[in-house]
Structure 1
């Protein structure tokens, strides 16, 4: 394509100003979001890595080739594979409320805000992982989804809520979940973790 030389070039000062403003906005948003992401992610990383003493093998920050987004945490325990999202809502109450539509199931409400979409996002990752295992000839390996709230306030009498089949729990409940009993022996868990590490590359 031939350039139209009659068109004036954009003024460098205006372009620089625009780019500077965009970079400033981006930096501000990153600074605002980073503490929440880092705290919840690091807490669950530490928790799952410590669960190795109970036979749990973990992977973190994995991507699914051909799909957008990533899987924050995977744990392989005797009971199967666990897909885990970590969330940080400091001192926010966590509850399950029925929706107005009886056929729509329940809503996850955190600090008065409906976060059922977060539950469905985990459910989608669970389905993707299940399909990967089916394609590898491992359809009988259970895949479980969980949302771990590192600072949320679940009812004291409840260790594990469930919304649309996904677990909603605090860190202590997550350890109990992934370290629970099941049919997978130590060699099965090692082999499964190696397969998932290859099939789901690390996200950079």
Structure 2
């Protein structure tokens, strides 16, 4: 689990007054905001590239102004003036730039941190998360505690937990009802902000 003490209260509201999101968005089917990644590495990379381009352009401009431009800068300017847009190098550079730009846009509009699931808030100004792996482990051990279950694999999502259970020597309908009840109880006990729906799939195993 992870604990984020950043305040969730909107601007203009008092500290003793819970945010409207906390009051109405918890529970089954609620709209729950995901954890946002700080994106320090992409931001630092963009800042570094922008600083390098700006510094190079400034250097070329100053040296050209005083007629002391180095040979490499003159060659660079000449290539920029003589290359056509259909040139393979220009097309490749444009494609790379477009892909990087699209990647940065996706990073800007998506929260990231897909491995974290938000829990019900323990108090004002506190945000708590549980990793998907931890939630999946709880559900897996709950399934393994039932008699006849040999193995269980869990794929944990934000809205649904898919469990594939291998079993033997049990009536499938009886086992399905038993596991569904136990897993739903466990899913509610995890205190997730959005309780995931349990999708149980039984697979009989013979010869074990």
User: Which range, TM-score by smaller chain?
Assistant: under 0.3
Higher radius of gyration, 1 or 2: 2
Between structures 1 and 2, the one with greater strand share: 1
TM-score w.r.t. length of structure 1? 0.25
